[in-house]
A and B are shown apart, each in its own frame.
Chain A
Amino acid sequence: ETGVTQSPTHLIKTRGQQVTLRCSSQSGHNTVSWYQQALGQGPQFIFQYYREEENGRGNFPPRFSGLQFPNYSSELNVNALELDDSALYLCASSWASDQQYFGPGTRLTVT
């Protein structure tokens, strides 16, 4: 059974640029949730995708958007990057609202 994977591991972007982060869900899971974790803070919920539809959103602006594909993998897109977007981005997969399993995260640095 393959766990949750994320790519890339690290990346550095410049303020104003756009970025796409990817997440492959665990086999048998149909739901992906994304979280942002700033340094020294707990993760904050961004949004969740269930069967390719957004199924709940946290307090993040519209420049944070996502997609879920038929194979249940997912992308997180962030437009017009700001310095405060620097964080560890975590995705978690689950079967519907069952227990979430987390990937290793993508460390994004915005300069």
Chain B
Amino acid sequence: KQEVTQIPAALSVPEGENLVLNCSFTDSAIYNLQWFRQDPGKGLTSLLLIQSSQREQTSGRLNASLDKSSGRSTLYIAASQPGDSATYLCAEKTSYGKLTFGQGTILTVHP
């Protein structure tokens, strides 16, 4: 059974801090790993997608890494801002395209 776990469940940091969100997955036949952002009551915004053949992806202040051998991915956010406050979800994709999501990390960045 595929499982995706995210740690921590919630994180509160002061503005300007660098932070790391963790995601672990059990299915080694991963096709890709994707990080999403979700604002309260809203849909999902894709942040970064890492193919199984890649080690990391970067977009602006965000960097995501993928280690298939250990079943882990991390999302690094540099110089956090209050506007980064949201729920961050990771999802692994296998086979025909089904995404298996973690439960998310609720991030609060306070001024």
A residues with CB within 8 A of B = 31, 33, 35, 40-45, 48, 50, 55-56, 58, 88, 90, 92, 94, 96-105, 107
* Cβ-defined partner of A107 (8 Å) among B4, B41, B44, B45: B41
Residue of A nearest to B100 (CB): A45
Task: List B contacts of A107 (CB < 8 A).
Answer: 41
Taking a contact as CB atoms under 8 Å apart, the answer to whether B46 and A99 are in contact is: yes
* Closest CB in chain A relative to B29 CB, distance in Å: 13
B99 close to chain A: CB less than 8 A: yes
* Closest CB in chain B relative to A45 CB, distance in Å: 5
Residue of B nearest to A31 (CB): B97
B61 close to chain A: CB less than 8 A: no
> Which stretch in B11-19, B77-85, B101-109 binds the other chain?
B101-109
CA distance A44 to B3 in the complex (A): 11
Task: List B contacts of A33 (CB < 8 A).
Answer: 97-99
Taking a contact as CB atoms under 8 Å apart, the answer to whether B97 and A90 are in contact is: no
Contact A44-B44, Cβ < 8 Å, known A55-B96, A99-B49: no
Taking a contact as CB atoms under 8 Å apart, the answer to whether B101 and A97 are in contact is: no
Residue of A nearest to B97 (CB): A97
* Cβ-defined partner of A94 (8 Å) among B95, B97, B103, B104: B97
Task: List B contacts of A90 (CB < 8 A).
Answer: 43-44
Taking a contact as CB atoms under 8 Å apart, the answer to whether A48 and B41 are in contact is: no
Taking a contact as CB atoms under 8 Å apart, the answer to whether A42 and B4 are in contact is: yes
Taking a contact as CB atoms under 8 Å apart, the answer to whether B103 and A105 are in contact is: no
Residue of A nearest to B104 (CB): A42
* Closest CB in chain B relative to A47 CB, distance in Å: 9
Task: List B contacts of A103 (CB < 8 A).
Answer: 43
Taking a contact as CB atoms under 8 Å apart, the answer to whether B43 and A41 are in contact is: no
Task: List A contacts of B93 (CB < 8 A).
Answer: 97
Taking a contact as CB atoms under 8 Å apart, the answer to whether B98 and A43 are in contact is: no
B75 close to chain A: CB less than 8 A: no
Task: List A contacts of B45 (CB < 8 A).
Answer: 102
